[in-house]
Chains A and B, each alone.
Chain A
Amino acid sequence: MSKDTLEKFSQEKCLKLFYEMLRIRRFEEKSAELYSAGKIRGFLHLYNGEEAIAVGVMEMLRDEDSFIGTYREHGHALARGVSMKSIMAEMYGKVEGCSRGRGGSMHLYDKEKKFYGGNAIVGGHLPLAVGLGLADKMQNRDVVTACFFGDGAVAEGEFHESLNLAALWKLPVLFVCENNFYAMGTQISREESQVDLCAKASSYNVKSVAVDGMDILSVMEETQKAIDYITKNESPYFLEFQTYRFRAHSMFDAELYRDKKEVEEWKKKGPIVRFKKLLEEQKWLDEAKIKEMEKKIATEIQASIEFAENGHWEPISHLTKDVYCEEM
């Protein structure tokens, strides 16, 4: 992260990026609180520490591009512009939620935003991304599908089958690996015989690059290059963003497998603190501006909670709705 790169972007854009990351962080913190209060249930996986990836990639994707992700997807949904109210209502299980209360935290969807969902079978959505890319190619649409997944997914057969297929068929898929070095309690070196994930992608002839995922400017630059490459070469691309999750895997995790010191070290390299420092040095950001942002975010979060609280439980008589499409 350097001043030189910073100067490629306007102050306005940088403040917007900073704001988006902060917005996700505060949303996740509030979600944890609401989980403890019993308002949100099921599994809840927070994105703290990884915000630069969702914000940076979404910034570069065009409205017509699709994306698909995992159960750790609140940040992606927010950065894409899925309304915070509908996400909060979803986590409350209300019918006003973005999946009508059927999915919960792990299964946010938004067709209008071309968001093909939070998926909770690790690796299970990579083939879907290949298929979305195939549909785009067969219908001559000049768009990209971004597929987010964790380092853990790389061990599943579906990762390997999907990369091979995407390369073989020359599909416009951007594989975005959020490598936070842990799959639940398993550190990557205990999960992978080859921890250089790009080497795996390269072995399928998929162009691949490893990037500091804590540096939002690099995330954006590398994503732009990837999109250009996919468009020009009609081929998939693999981005490995190295990052770290600051919180437990889910709300059930006692974190016995990692050292608190390790977490603290990573927090110092966090995407928000680093960008904040750079922006302050550039005199683009100061405490007053941050305060203003915090206030705006708090207001939005509060409104989303009120929206969710005032939402409705879908009548039980609708239980079997949407198992099949209605008759045409």
Chain B
Amino acid sequence: MCAKKMTYRDALKEAISEAMRNDSRVFLMGEDVARYGGTYAVTKGLAKEFGEDRIRDTPLSESAFTGAGIGAALGGMRPIVEIMTVNFSLLALDQIINNAATIRHMSGGQFRIPLVIRMATGSGKQLAAQHSHSLEVMYAHVPGLKVICPATVEDARGMLQAALDDPNPVIMFEHVSLYNMSDEIEDNTKVDLKSAKIRRSGEDITLITFGGSLHKTLQAAEELAAQNIDCEVLDLRSLRPLDHDAILASIRKTHRAVVIEEGWRSFGVAAEIMALVMEKAFYELDAPIARACGVEVPIPYAKHLEDASVPQVPDIVAKVQEVLNSDV
């Protein structure tokens, strides 16, 4: 095996171009993906190799081109739809929730929709309240969709490959802070769309997170290690399906947990995980589970306010200390 250093962005590009070379049904469409090279430059150069038929610029028409992706999937293609950012995907919500997520079921299992919808998500670039939100949970709420949030370079490639092999509609979230991250990855790594992964093994407490918050959480775990607190960090990777076994196994090991996410606190991913543990592993807990989540405010522009509106490393550290101090 041979290892290569690449960015998260390049890992996505590699998965896309590989799939396009191997399968003529695969094509990609979205705003400014061809001539402009993609808002986050993921598709830069691909139109040269594959032509503008298969790297297809669309007008500003999120509802129509996302719906067209669903239709093309019904018609036997394997489309990748790129939506610039999750806030704009709201224009396509009807297509995704009323069509992509339902047709398989409404037709009594006759049709399949092998579609991948990729979009950027998250805050950190001072883009204010119409460009910065983390709405993953809205999609994770919906049966019929798969929702993945690769947080590493290896997962960016591997999960996109797996999504392209999947016969169901897969929504893939790429946190804006990750595109420039680089890492060395092996050739031919395989990733599935259902397994969470332990990113750091520990004994004292489990930190459960995904996407852009993974790296802040790992950093918090480092700082806590210096205080002799041994954190286990579990990267969910997929929100739907959610890897119950991995979550419960880690809880059974550490008996404490903090869930970290950028999305708003109420009705969020953390709330779901807390409910799951309540149902399945209540007696394993040595302390109530805590959550570090987005503050319930549309993300503000000013840097200090934006930073304060999503969990940062010190917030995670403080939450862990709080849980450890509240042992029953």
Interface of A toward B, CB cutoff 8 Å: 41-43, 93-94, 99, 101-104, 106-107, 119-124, 152-153, 155-157, 183-186, 190-192, 253, 256-257, 313-314, 316, 319-320, 323
Assess the A101–B130 pair: CB atoms within 8 A.
no
Chain A residues near B91 (CB, 8 Å)? 121, 156-157
Assess the A101–B305 pair: CB atoms within 8 A.
yes
Q: How far is the CA of A191 from the CA of B65 in the complex (A)?
A: 12
Assess the A320–B303 pair: CB atoms within 8 A.
no
Of B59, B295, B296, B309, most buried by chain A (CB within 10 Å of CB) is B59
Query: Is B4 an interface residue when CB atoms closer than 8 A count as contact?
Result: no
Give 1 or 0 for each of B36-64: 1 = CB within 8 Å of chain A CB: 11000000000000000000010111111
Assess the B59–A42 pair: CB atoms within 8 A.
no
Q: How far is the CA of A175 from the CA of B130 in the complex (A)?
A: 22
Chain B residues near A191 (CB, 8 Å)? 59-60
Assess the A185–B298 pair: CB atoms within 8 A.
no
Q: How far is the CA of A316 from the CA of B306 in the complex (A)?
A: 10
Assess the A184–B301 pair: CB atoms within 8 A.
no
Partner of A323, one of B62, B298, B308: B298
Assess the A185–B128 pair: CB atoms within 8 A.
no
Assess the A153–B60 pair: CB atoms within 8 A.
yes
Of all chain A residues, which has the CB nearest B125?
A: A42
Assess the B298–A120 pair: CB atoms within 8 A.
no
Q: How far is the CA of A316 from the CA of B304 in the complex (A)?
A: 7
Query: Is B232 an interface residue when CB atoms closer than 8 A count as contact?
Result: no
Query: Is B277 an interface residue when CB atoms closer than 8 A count as contact?
Result: no
Chain B residues near A124 (CB, 8 Å)? 130
Chain A residues near B129 (CB, 8 Å)? 102-103, 107
Interface of A is mostly: loop
Q: How far is the CA of A152 from the CA of B84 in the complex (A)?
A: 15
Chain A residues near B37 (CB, 8 Å)? 185, 256
In the A-B complex, the 8 residue pairs with the smallest Cβ-Cβ separation, listed nearest first, are A185-B36, A93-B302, A104-B301, A155-B59, A42-B126, A101-B302, A41-B126, A120-B130
Assess the B297–A320 pair: CB atoms within 8 A.
yes
Of all chain B residues, which has the CB nearest A183?
A: B60
Give 1 or 0 for each of B275-319: 1 = CB within 8 Å of chain A CB: 000000000000000000001111011111100110000000000
Assess the B303–A41 pair: CB atoms within 8 A.
yes
Query: Is B87 an interface residue when CB atoms closer than 8 A count as contact?
Result: yes
Expressed in whole angstroms, the minimum distance between the Cβ of B307 and any Cβ of chain A is 9
Chain B residues near A102 (CB, 8 Å)? 128-129, 300-302, 305
Q: How far is the CA of A107 from the CA of B129 in the complex (A)?
A: 9
Of all chain B residues, which has the CB nearest A42?
A: B126
Query: Is B35 an interface residue when CB atoms closer than 8 A count as contact?
Result: yes
Assess the A157–B61 pair: CB atoms within 8 A.
yes
Q: How far is the CA of A319 from the CA of B304 in the complex (A)?
A: 10
Assess the A42–B128 pair: CB atoms within 8 A.
yes
Assess the A93–B301 pair: CB atoms within 8 A.
yes
Task: Taking A93-B303, A102-B305, A120-B130 as given, write out 4 further A-B residue pairs in contact, using a Cβ cutoff of 8 Å, ordered by the A residue number.
Answer: A93-B305, A104-B302, A319-B309, A323-B297
Q: How far is the CA of A101 from the CA of B305 in the complex (A)?
A: 9
Q: How far is the CA of A119 from the CA of B87 in the complex (A)?
A: 13
Of all chain A residues, which has the CB nearest B87?
A: A121
Assess the A101–B301 pair: CB atoms within 8 A.
yes
Q: How far is the CA of A257 from the CA of B44 in the complex (A)?
A: 12
Taking CB atoms and an 8 Å cut-off, the chain B residues in 1-50 that contact chain A are 31-32, 35-37
Chain A residues near B88 (CB, 8 Å)? 121
Taking CB atoms and an 8 Å cut-off, the chain B residues in 69-121 that contact chain A are 87-88, 91
Q: How far is the CA of A180 from the CA of B88 in the complex (A)?
A: 22
Q: How far is the CA of A190 from the CA of B29 in the complex (A)?
A: 14
Of B35, B36, B129, B301, most buried by chain A (CB within 10 Å of CB) is B301
Chain B residues near A184 (CB, 8 Å)? 31-32, 36
Expressed in whole angstroms, the minimum distance between the Cβ of A28 and any Cβ of chain B is 19
Chain A residues near B300 (CB, 8 Å)? 101-102, 319
Expressed in whole angstroms, the minimum distance between the Cβ of B283 and any Cβ of chain A is 36
Chain B residues near A186 (CB, 8 Å)? 31-32, 35-36, 57, 59
Offer 29 A-B interface pairs, CB within 8 angstroms, sorted by A: A41-B126, A41-B303, A42-B125, A42-B126, A42-B301, A93-B126, A93-B302, A99-B301, A101-B300, A101-B305, A102-B129, A104-B128, A123-B60, A152-B60, A156-B91, A157-B61, A183-B31, A183-B59, A184-B31, A184-B36, A185-B32, A185-B35, A186-B32, A256-B35, A313-B304, A316-B304, A319-B305, A320-B295, A320-B296
Q: How far is the CA of A122 from the CA of B32 in the complex (A)?
A: 14
Chain A residues near B309 (CB, 8 Å)? 319
Query: Is B142 an interface residue when CB atoms closer than 8 A count as contact?
Result: no
Expressed in whole angstroms, the minimum distance between the Cβ of B211 and any Cβ of chain A is 21
Query: Is B141 an interface residue when CB atoms closer than 8 A count as contact?
Result: no
Q: How far is the CA of A101 from the CA of B296 in the complex (A)?
A: 17
Query: Is B324 an interface residue when CB atoms closer than 8 A count as contact?
Result: no
Of all chain B residues, which has the CB nearest A95?
A: B302
Of all chain B residues, which has the CB nearest A323?
A: B297
Assess the A319–B61 pair: CB atoms within 8 A.
no
Taking CB atoms and an 8 Å cut-off, the chain B residues in 243-258 that contact chain A are none
Assess the B128–A155 pair: CB atoms within 8 A.
no
With A102-B128, A103-B128: A319-B36 Cβ-Cβ less than 8 Å: no
Taking CB atoms and an 8 Å cut-off, the chain B residues in 114-168 that contact chain A are 125-131
Assess the B60–A42 pair: CB atoms within 8 A.
no
Partner of A155, one of B36, B61, B126, B298: B61
Expressed in whole angstroms, the minimum distance between the Cβ of B29 and any Cβ of chain A is 12
Q: How far is the CA of A157 from the CA of B93 in the complex (A)?
A: 13
Expressed in whole angstroms, the minimum distance between the Cβ of B133 and any Cβ of chain A is 12
Q: How far is the CA of A77 from the CA of B303 in the complex (A)?
A: 23
Chain A residues near B59 (CB, 8 Å)? 152, 155, 183, 186, 191-192
Chain B residues near A122 (CB, 8 Å)? 60
Chain A residues near B301 (CB, 8 Å)? 42, 93, 99, 101-104, 107
